[in-house]
Amino acid sequence: MLLLKKLLLLLFCSSSLAKVTYFNLENTYGPYCNPKSKFTPDAGIVRYAGTPWIGKCVLNIQSCCLPTFPNGSLMPDLPLSTRFYVHLLAQPLCSTENVTVTSESGETTLIDCHTKNGTEYFFDTELLTIEYHRSKKLPLSKFSMVVTPLKIKTRMYSKCGFDCFSDKYCIDRSLVCDRYKNCPNNVDEAYCEYSHHHEPLSFRAKLILSFVLLTIITLTVSSILICYFCCGITDNNLGTTSKERKSLHGDREETDVAVSPLSIP
């Protein structure tokens, strides 16, 4: 019982340490669409929430763990400690939606239906503003992208839990093996249990495998049919032989009765 409690506690702690925040863009009045709000996740999945709506959603993502004064305000003239890494998973729909990403310096990038899935962006800033525009309620969209604030390792106030094995960057350890690419070189997902899978079969290999399976199925069905007919013929022969034996035995009994001494006068 004590071991079970420890296991449950371990599972609870491991799930509670997951730091990825899902920013579901539900509508203009959603919890993440307030231009005055700022969020400081270790990493975020920005995605369309799947509800039909029209409007604009403004999402502000700020780097965490920056030095502040006792009143909570940031210390001025801090050296840059963050490089935001944006990885597009599913592009916006054409003539329906587009995304604008802006850094503190005013650098702006447009992401639309012409942007290929898997495209990567880097922004040297402590605050990233994402504006999601939707002009039609339908069709629904699969738009999503991963936003990770890469921390520069040389800053004393950078919170580093996992080294991306690069010259500069690190991420929070909770992002390792979360099935999302947070390090640009994907080293945070490279050695996870789920990543050790076989490469997909080529067309030729699939064709050979299909032929082998078809051959096995054909031989199996043929064997069953042959066995069925052979067994049926054998059963018929056995039945005929049995009937002949019974008939012969009956004839012998009649003959014995006919020649019995009791029947002689």
CA-CA distance, 56 to 25, in Å (whole number)?
Answer: 10
User: pTM of the prediction?
Assistant: 0.66
- Predicted confidence at residue 113, as pLDDT, reads 96
Q: Which of 179, 180, 162 is nearest to 171 (CA)?
A: 162
Q: Return left, alpha or beta for 122; rule: phi > 0 is left, psi -120 to 50 is alpha, else beta.
A: beta
Distance of CA 21 to the CA centre of its chain: 17
Q: Which of 3-12, 58-67, 220-229, 244-253 has the lowest mean pLDDT?
A: 3-12
CB-side exposure of 196: number of CA atoms within 13 Å? 3
**What is the percent of the chain where pLDDT is above 70?**
72
**How does residue 5 score in pLDDT terms, banded at 50, 70 and 90?**
very low
- Predicted confidence at residue 75, as pLDDT, reads 65
109's enclosing H/E stretch is strand 108-111
Sign (positive/negative) of CA torsion 130, 79, 149, 93? positive
- The more confident residue out of 226 and 78 is 226
- The more confident residue out of 238 and 207 is 207
Q: Which of 57-66, 107-116, 123-132 has the lowest mean pLDDT?
A: 57-66
* Rounded mean pLDDT, 186-203: 74
Q: Calculate the dihedral angle through the C-alpha atoms of 152, 154, 159, 162, rounding to the nearest 10 degrees.
A: 70
Over the stretch 44-100, which tens digit does the pLDDT of each residue have?
999 998 889 999 999 999 988 776 667 766 666 667 889 999 999 999 999 999 999
Q: Which CATH superfamily is domain 17-195 in?
A: Spermadhesin, CUB domain (2.60.120.290)
Q: Which of 17-21, 95-99, 117-121 has the lowest mean pLDDT?
A: 17-21
User: What is the DSSP secondary structure assignment for residue 209, as one 8-state letter?
Assistant: H
